[in-house]
Amino acid sequence: MKSTKLSALVFLVITSLSCLSIHVLAQNKPTKPADIFENVDRLNGNDMIERLAAQRSAYNKNRSKNSLPKAEYIINRNNLTLVSFNGLDYYIKNNRVIGIQGLNLSDEVLNQITDKLVLLDSIQFNQSERSNTEHFNPNVDFQKIRNIDRQFMLTLKMLSSTVRDIAALTKSENPSLTVETNVAKMRLPNIDKAAEKSNVQSLVLLSK
């Protein structure tokens, strides 16, 4: 009888210890990558480009200093941020593209993509700030503002076309390889040259 009670007691102790061990292990299991990315900041890059352009256009129609659109970065992010462009999710941290979801890209190619996107992002931000500052100039030059705003809009358009071109490269059978071999062929945007061409086209249209 005593032997039966002792066996039952031992079984109860072993069962309790097993349950406790399982509970402790469950609490201390490593965090999965999916859990880490649950706290990542997310934004839709295409929507942001459209919003920045729409805000500037709306402001130019009413010219109220109280409604000057705030200059905003799209790519320049310190915290880990997932920015979506044309169906591709770019992981951004410390103003760098550190990866694109679903693609296996080398650091060299990621740096090339970063250079293109950061350049355009920096230009659109600076142009927006320049335009806002010029509005508070006592001797405000509206022609200068129009030129700055034209470059701002053009930069957003070039940023949109750049990410669209990158997305198009992923439609192949081997998207990672296609991006790797073709990104280097994409030239760095030349905003001044594009703006000059735009001005010439505007003059031609006015002369007609």
* 167 vs 54: CA distance, rounded Å: 24
Residue 101, in any domain of the structure: yes
* 153 vs 19: CA distance, rounded Å: 63
Residue 11, in any domain of the structure: no
Res. 96: pLDDT tops 90: yes
Question: Token digits for 65?
Answer: 């200093």
pTM above 0.75, yes or no: no
- pLDDT, position 81: 96
Residue 5, in any domain of the structure: no
Residue-range definition of the domain harbouring residue 140: 25-207
Residue 161, in any domain of the structure: yes
Name the amino acid, one letter, at 41.
D
Name the amino acid, one letter, at 93.
K
Full strand arrangement of the beta sheet holding 88-93: 41-44, 81-85, 88-93, 96-100
Q: Which residue has the higher pLDDT, 149 or 61?
A: 149
Query: 28-48: per-residue pLDDT in tens?
Result: 433 333 444 567 899 999 999
* 116 vs 120: CA distance, rounded Å: 7
- C-beta separation of 156 from 78 below 8 A: no
- pLDDT, position 4: 52
* 120 vs 188: CA distance, rounded Å: 9
Res. 76: pLDDT tops 60: yes
Instruction: State the maximum Cα–Cα separation within the chain, in Å, rounded to a whole number.
Output: 112
Residue 20, in any domain of the structure: no
- pLDDT, position 202: 38
Residue 4, in any domain of the structure: no
How many structural domains compose the chain? 1
Which whole-number Å values give the CA distances from 106 to 12, 98, 112, in the listed order? 56, 10, 10
